Amino acid sequence: MRKVQAIVVGAGRMGKVHSRNLKQIPNVELKAIVDIDQRRASELANEVGAAPFSSLSSAIASVKPDLVVITSSTQTHLPLIKEAAENGAYIFVEKPMGLNSKENEDIVRIVQSKKVKLQVGFQRLYDLSFIEVQKRLGSGEIGKPLIAELISRDPSPQPGIGTILYPGAVYDDMAIHDFATMVWLFGFKKMTLFATGMAAVFKEYKEAGDYDNTLVNVKYYDGPLVNIDTSRCSKYGYDIRLEVLGENGLLKVENVTDYQTFVYKGDSVTHPPYLWFEDRFRDAYRREIEAFVKAVMNDERTFPDEVFGMQVGRISDAAKKSALEGVPVTVE
Ligand SMILES: NC(=O)c1ccc[n+]([C@@H]2O[C@H](COP(=O)([O-])OP(=O)(O)OC[C@H]3O[C@@H](n4cnc5c(N)ncnc54)[C@H](O)[C@@H]3O)[C@@H](O)[C@H]2O)c1
């Protein structure tokens, strides 16, 4: 059987994660690694046995891709999606899909007019603990959902080298994972949200008009109430939690770690968390890219797709507006 020909764009943090996972999938031939930084492209290409390129155009001139995985800085997503779609490749793009709703609408138009498929990298939707919540909620086991709490805490800002800071970027870059989880669990329906943020610790966020801590309160018109709590300041490690209170019970994902090992000492009890996302979501990243490859091979629907990416982007745009203008914003 012919192997799927793959190109990865971006050899940074997420480029490494997805390239290493693609390399493990038997039906995939990872042919090219593209990065404008040639050293990065060569190092990762050497590691995974692919060829390095400095642009997607030059890679496509040499490889006819079935799929392109886009992990470069967010501001490059739209032009790269366009180029991949025009060459008939299916596209996996890291979150956020585009920089804003205008870009997301362009992406939906491009993908649908070129009749290719696109998947967005919201890996929490492939995390087994999160999936368990989604399944049990869907089965009606805890009855009508009443209140949900979504907590995302990063141990430091440590953005990618190409990450741009701008007013309210935290909603597009970080809280967007929680918006995606929320839409997956409760749907994209009429909601009013109110967001507040502060740059309390890192001066580069303050100077850019962005925040390192933020809360977003969401009221779905047909329930539930959702609280999204996002911080870049969890000195103790990476901390991702989810809780849904329903009429008949509670579903809860604690901060998952590798071990259930607690360390007891004279004056302390510790249960070290993961340090960062690459470890906490290791399996979910593998599962999402496997699902994407399967969709490409069988020409099946991708999940989450470009419409989902656009809906989630509308919520992050609304949160930005709310926080920056100090007003509640309705999304429908
Ligand atoms: N799903 C997740 O958990 C997760 C985690 C981190 C980052 N991300 C997303 O992944 C994307 C990349 O983030 P990162 O942390 O890997 O960044 P990074 O800075 O580590 O890597 C980005 C790479 O893209 C390269 N690049 C920039 N413009 C390019 C272009 N036009 N063509 C080719 N290469 C180009 C840069 O040289 C850099 O090597 C962002 O969209 C980010 O939001 C997702």
**Secondary structure letter of residue 302 according to DSSP:** P
Q: Which residue has the tokens 């597009």?
A: 172
Give the distance (Å) from ligand 1 centre to CA of residue 326.
31
Tell me the residue ranges of DSSP E strands in the chain.
Answer: 4-9, 28-34, 51-53, 67-70, 90-94, 118-121, 145-153, 191-198, 213-220, 225-231, 239-246, 249-253, 263-265, 268-270, 329-331
160/173 Cα distance (integer angstroms): 11
pLDDT, position 97: 98
CB-based contacts of 92, cutoff 8 Å, min separation 6: 18, 67, 68, 69, 70, 118, 119, 120, 121, 289, 292
Distance (Å) from CA 75 to ligand 1 centroid: 10
User: What spatial distance separates the first Cα and last Cα of the chain, rounded to whole Å?
Assistant: 45
- In order of their start, the domains of the chain are 4-116 (3.40.50.720), 125-280+312-331 (3.30.360.10)
pLDDT given for residue 141 in this prediction: 95
Widest Cα–Cα separation across the chain: 65
- Closest ligand 1 atom, residue 80 Cα: 31
Pocket probe for ligand 1: among 38, 94, 127, the residue whose CB has the most ligand atoms within 8 Å is 94
What lines the ligand 1 site, CB under 6 Å? 9-15, 34-37, 40, 71-74, 76, 94-95, 121, 123, 160-162, 173, 277
Residue 200 near residue 170 (C-beta atoms within 8 A): no
Beta bridge partners of 265: 268
Residue 157, pLDDT score: 74
Please tell me the pTM assigned to this model: 0.95
* pLDDT band (50, 70, 90) for residue 113: very high
Q: What is the mean pLDDT of residues 215-233?
A: 96
In angstroms, the CA 48 to CA 35 distance is 14
Please tell me the distance between residue 26's alpha carbon and the centre of ligand 1 in angstroms.
Answer: 25
Q: Name the closest-CA residue to atom 5, ligand 1.
A: 14
Exposed (0-12), middle (13-18) or buried (19+): which is 326, by Cβ within 10 Å? exposed
CB atoms within 10 A of CB 61: 10
As a whole number of angstroms, the distance between CA 307 and CA 313 comes to 10
Atom of ligand 1 nearest to the CA of 122: 1
Which one, of 163, 173, 164, 199, lies nearest residue 313 by Cα? 173
Pair 118, 302: CB distance under 8 Å: yes
Residues 100-128, mean pLDDT to the nearest whole number? 97
**pLDDT of amino acid 273:** 80
CA 26 to each of CA 11, 68, 213: distance values in angstroms, whole numbers, following the listed order: 21, 17, 42
Higher-confidence residue of 182 and 255: namely: 182
